[in-house]
């Protein structure tokens, strides 16, 4: 028996081709599309405005999804972490974050299995790189959340496992699907990078309207190298030029992610150097107090060092937020994803 078509991750033209092959109209294609992306059904049987006969024909050649939810963990704060398994046996983690008093539902998606960047604070980096995810596999993560919760995801952040700009074509293809098929506005989508300059230049060329987030984590090359080894390949001085070019071309403000690690990146000197580094870059800053992972040499910053750091950056004219810790009790917080069963 030949392999069935997986409907999740397809675009309207693909649905039209399927409808045409089954001798049905474009309208049927639009109905299937809406059942997949707007109603997040689990099976073709649930597509109740299609005739039983058509559903049977469609089921012979296609199925909604081929992923499995290996585990699901719910945090005390409502964050949900899924371990999703693909047919080749690889798994990634996807996190749904909810924030009190806000209606936003944010999916934090993975773009690769494992990661080659090997940031020293990150559980994923310790695994090394396994493979890129396809656009459909990225899209499946958001559909899995929607199918499971019955809720509609309103925001997507590419901040899960992997370096999105090292899988740029598939990430951009999934971004288009989120935008056009899920109807999630471009500005509600964020792509995060450790600082891959060719990828940043490509996004600048495309005049991307989604948000770019850069993991800066240290404004001094020698310190940054200890945290993000890719600093040796794409050093801060060149990165700064790429970021300026990006904001000029897109007109968009960058989000600077800054990890506060006790006595390494949370000092007053680092805050002052960060303010100088960011002086000519149109950006907001998001401070992330470090979450300890198993066997880590790094420590959590104190509340007073977080507040001092924030004050210095605000004083330099930047808008600064402190990232709320989500799902730390289920290892779903920043840098804690591993994508392994039993990790
Ligand atoms: S923080 Fe991101 S880029 Fe760095 S190793 Fe982890 S997954 Fe890769």
Phi, psi of 227 (to 5 degrees): -100, -45
- The catalytic position among 91, 108, 119, 334 is 334
Burial class (CB in 10 A: 0-12, 13-18, 19+), 332: buried
Residues 17 and 128 in one domain: no
Ligand 1 pocket residue status of 115, Cβ below 6 Å? yes
Number of neighbours of residue 201 by Cβ within 10 angstroms:
16
What is the distance between the alpha carbons of residues 317 and 306, in angstroms, rounded to a whole number? 17
What is the distance between the alpha carbons of residues 208 and 185, in angstroms, rounded to a whole number? 12
Residues 155 and 236 in one domain: yes
Number of neighbours of residue 10 by Cβ within 10 angstroms:
23
What is the distance between the alpha carbons of residues 149 and 212, in angstroms, rounded to a whole number? 28
The residue out of 20, 46, 63 marking a domain boundary is: 63
- Here the CATH number for the domain that contains residue 254 is 3.20.20.70
Number of neighbours of residue 66 by Cβ within 10 angstroms:
15
State the distance from the centre of ligand 1 to the C-alpha of 280, rounded, in angstroms: 26
Residues 175 and 311 in one domain: yes
Q: Identify the pLDDT of residue 333.
A: 56
Give the three-state DSSP class for 123.
coil
Ligand 1 site-directed mutation target among 109, 163, 231, 234, most atoms within 8 Å of CB: 163
Q: Identify the pLDDT of residue 337.
A: 61
Residues 80 and 59 in one domain: no
Residues 59 and 169 in one domain: no
Residues 167 and 19 in one domain: no
Q: What angle do CA 264, 270, 271 make, to 5 degrees?
A: 125
Counted domains in the chain: 2
Q: Identify the pLDDT of residue 78.
A: 87
What is the distance between the alpha carbons of residues 297 and 211, in angstroms, rounded to a whole number? 32
Q: Are 18 and 58 in contact (CB under 8 A)?
A: yes
Ligand 1 pocket residue status of 231, Cβ below 6 Å? no
What is the distance between the alpha carbons of residues 3 and 1, in angstroms, rounded to a whole number? 7
Residues 173 and 123 in one domain: yes
Q: Are 155 and 145 in contact (CB under 8 A)?
A: no
Residues in the chain: 343
Number of neighbours of residue 128 by Cβ within 10 angstroms:
10
Q: Identify the pLDDT of residue 125.
A: 75
Structural tokens at position 57? 């024909």
Structural domain span for residue 97: 68-330
Sheet holding 155-158, edge to edge: 68-74, 80-85, 91-98, 105-108, 155-158, 189-193, 211-215, 254-260, 283-289, 319-322
State the distance from the centre of ligand 1 to the C-alpha of 104, rounded, in angstroms: 25
Ligand 1 pocket residue status of 122, Cβ below 6 Å? yes
Q: Identify the pLDDT of residue 103.
A: 79
Q: Identify the pLDDT of residue 335.
A: 56
What is the distance between the alpha carbons of residues 193 and 29, in angstroms, rounded to a whole number? 36
Ligand 1 pocket residue status of 97, Cβ below 6 Å? no
Ligand 1 pocket residue status of 10, Cβ below 6 Å? no
Give the three-state DSSP class for 100.
coil
Q: Is 337 part of any domain? A: no
Ligand 1 pocket residue status of 110, Cβ below 6 Å? no
Ligand 1 site-directed mutation target among 93, 194, 333, most atoms within 8 Å of CB: 194
Q: Is 309 part of any domain? A: yes
Task: Give yes or no: 334 in active site.
Answer: yes
What is the distance between the alpha carbons of residues 81 and 334, in angstroms, rounded to a whole number? 12
Structural tokens at position 14? 């693909």
Residues 113 and 24 in one domain: no
Ligand 1 pocket residue status of 119, Cβ below 6 Å? yes
Residues 205 and 237 in one domain: yes
CA distances to 163, 164, 205, 235 from 193, in Å: 6, 7, 17, 14
Number of neighbours of residue 292 by Cβ within 10 angstroms:
16
- The catalytic position among 93, 140, 163, 257 is 93
Q: Is 17 part of any domain? A: yes
In order, the DSSP letters of 6-36 are E-TT--HHHHHHHHHHTT--HHHHHHHHHHH
The residue out of 36, 63, 90 marking a domain boundary is: 63
Residue ranges for the chain with pLDDT beneath 50? 342-343
Residues 35 and 93 in one domain: no
Q: Identify the pLDDT of residue 297.
A: 85
Task: Give yes or no: 108 in active site.
Answer: no
Helix (H) or strand (E) holding 309: helix 303-315
What is the distance between the alpha carbons of residues 286 and 255, in angstroms, rounded to a whole number? 7
Q: Are strands 112-114 and 319-322 parallel, antiparallel or unpaired?
A: unpaired
pLDDT tens digits along 262-279:
999 999 999 999 999 999
Q: Are strands 155-158 and 105-108 parallel, antiparallel or unpaired?
A: parallel
């Amino acid at each position: 028996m030949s392999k069935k078509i997986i409907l999740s991750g397809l675009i309207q033209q693909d649905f039209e081709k399927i409808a045409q092959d089954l001798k049905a109209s474009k309208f049927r294609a639009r109905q299937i599309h809406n059942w997949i992306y707007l109603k997040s059904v689990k099976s073709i049987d649930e597509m109740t405005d299609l005739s039983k006969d058509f559903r049977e024909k469609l089921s012979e050649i296609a199925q909604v999804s081929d992923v499995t939810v290996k585990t699901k963990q719910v945090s005390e704060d409502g964050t949900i972490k899924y371990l999703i398994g693909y047919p080749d046996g690889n798994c990634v983690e996807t996190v749904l974050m909810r924030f009190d008093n806000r209606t936003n539902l944010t999916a934090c998606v993975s773009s690769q299995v494992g990661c080659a960047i090997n940031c020293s604070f990150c559980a994923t980096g310790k695994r090394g790189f396994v493979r890129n995810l396809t656009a459909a596999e990225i899209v499946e993560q958001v559909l899995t959340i929607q199918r499971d919760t019955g809720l509609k995801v309103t925001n997507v952040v590419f901040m899960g496992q992997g370096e999105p700009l090292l899988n740029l074509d598939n990430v951009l293809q999934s971004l288009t699907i989120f935008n056009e098929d899920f109807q999630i506005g471009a500005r509600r989508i964020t792509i995060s990078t450790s600082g891959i300059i060719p990828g940043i230049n490509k996004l600048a060329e495309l005049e991307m309207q989604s948000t770019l987030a850069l993991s800066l984590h240290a404004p001094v090359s020698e310190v940054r190298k200890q945290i993000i080894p890719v600093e040796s390949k794409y050093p801060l001085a060149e990165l700064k030029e790429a970021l300026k070019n990006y904001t000029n071309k897109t007109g968009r403000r960058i989000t600077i992610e800054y990890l506060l690690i006790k006595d390494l990146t949370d000092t007053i000197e680092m805050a002052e150097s960060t303010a100088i580094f960011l002086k000519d870059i149109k950006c907001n800053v998001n401070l992330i107090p470090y979450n300890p992972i198993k066997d880590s040499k790094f420590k959590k910053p104190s509340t007073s060092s977080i507040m001092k750091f924030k004050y210095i950056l605000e004083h330099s004219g930047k808008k600064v937020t402190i990232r709320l810790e989500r799902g730390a009790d289920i290892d779903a917080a920043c840098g804690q994803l591993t994508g392994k069963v039993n990790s």
